[in-house]
């Protein structure tokens, strides 16, 4: 049985860890509220912009001629795994890396794959692999702003237009709630064709100035940047939700461990006291026998 000093040290260590995990949970909860508000406000705008783009492009004969919708033989692919800069968020980062590797094995066998990691964790993982890296955006979360994200989106879009890549995919966690994040592997480029309208749903007849083609050329890059920005915001909210859940569970586990350690401490202390009493009684009996 462990001695009292060792058990006491373990109790103090667990208490310190529990205080840290509880503080991290509170910090993540505060950050989650702001991140959640951003993504909730972004989703309607993104969906409406996509709907307008689909309605306008569906009625345009030149929609298929868009540079961002050109389909080519897939020889070179750019994958953009979005992770966090920090750990202690459960399987958040691991799931993104697993999904990226799964896509490489199942969809891009024999294809030249390039990785554009966003987040320190994905950068640290893929810099040790054989894949080519575009690493200048791995620190995007250090200053999470629309301008920084626009630069990263433009890089992927310009590279696709220049023929450096035939497809671009985003791999990220979609925020559902605090306890649930859904892994998404979305095709960013080339743009998917507009979905057919639902039964009973009529298309909106827009009056377009100066021309339909000009509107599409202006609208498409903005819609793509919004899609990229939305994926980053989804991942940011998911990170804080995952860390909040992980720290809550860690705090709970620390509490359970404390109960066991305190019980062990009391048992050890009781056993030590009992041994001392037995020694005293045995010594008294020995003296009385004389």
* Residues classed as catalytic: 89
Are 270 and 51 a contacting pair, CB within 8 Å? no
Query: How does DSSP assign 86-121, residue by residue?
Result: S--STTHHHHHHHHHHHHHHHH-TTSEEEE--BSHH
Whether residue 198 contacts residue 228, with contact meaning beta carbons closer than 8 Å, is answered with: no
Q: Where are the beta strands (DSSP E) in 120-268?
A: 132-133, 167-177, 180-189
Contact 38, 275 (CB under 8 A): no
Neighbour-count burial of 278, counting CB atoms closer than 10 A to its CB (0-12 exposed, 13-18 middle, 19+ buried): exposed
CA atoms of 109 and 113, how far apart (whole Å): 9
- Residues 146-175 as b or e (16 or more Cβ within 10 Å = b): eebbeebbeebbebbeeeebbbbbbbbbbb
Residue 200, token pair as written in the block: 């009973």
Q: Which residue has the tokens 């903005």?
A: 222
């Amino acid at each position: 049985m462990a001695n009292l000093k060792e058990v006491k040290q373990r109790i103090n260590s667990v208490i310190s860890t529990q205080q840290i995990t509880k503080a991290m949970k509170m910090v993540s909860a505060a950050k989650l509220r702001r991140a959640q508000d951003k993504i909730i406000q972004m989703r309607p705008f993104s969906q409406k912009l996509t709907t307008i783009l689909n309605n306008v492009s569906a009625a345009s004969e030149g929609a298929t001629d868009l540079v961002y919708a050109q389909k080519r033989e897939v020889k070179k692919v750019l994958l953009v795994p979005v992770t966090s800069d920090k750990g202690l968020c459960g399987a958040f980062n691991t799931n993104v890396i697993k999904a990226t590797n799964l896509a490489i094995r199942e969809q891009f066998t024999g294809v030249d794959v390039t990785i554009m990691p966003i987040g320190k964790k994905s950068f640290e993982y893929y810099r040790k692999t054989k894949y080519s890296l575009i690493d200048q955006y791995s620190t995007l979360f250090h200053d999470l702003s629309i301008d920084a994200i626009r630069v990263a989106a433009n890089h992927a879009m310009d590279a696709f237009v220049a023929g450096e890549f035939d497809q671009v995919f985003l791999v990220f966690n979609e925020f559902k709630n605090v306890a649930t994040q859904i892994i998404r592997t979305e095709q960013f480029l080339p743009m998917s064709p507009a979905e057919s309208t639902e039964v009973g749903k009529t298309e909106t007849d827009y009056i377009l100035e100066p021309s339909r083609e000009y509107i599409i050329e202006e609208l498409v890059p903005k819609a793509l940047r919004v899609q990229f920005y939305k994926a980053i915001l989804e991942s940011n909210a998911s990170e804080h939700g995952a860390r909040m859940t992980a720290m809550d569970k860690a705090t709970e586990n620390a509490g359970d461990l404390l109960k066991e350690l305190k019980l062990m401490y009391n048992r050890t202390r009781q056993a030590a006291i009992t041994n001392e009493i037995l020694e005293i009684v045995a010594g008294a009996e020995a003296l009385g026998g004389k």
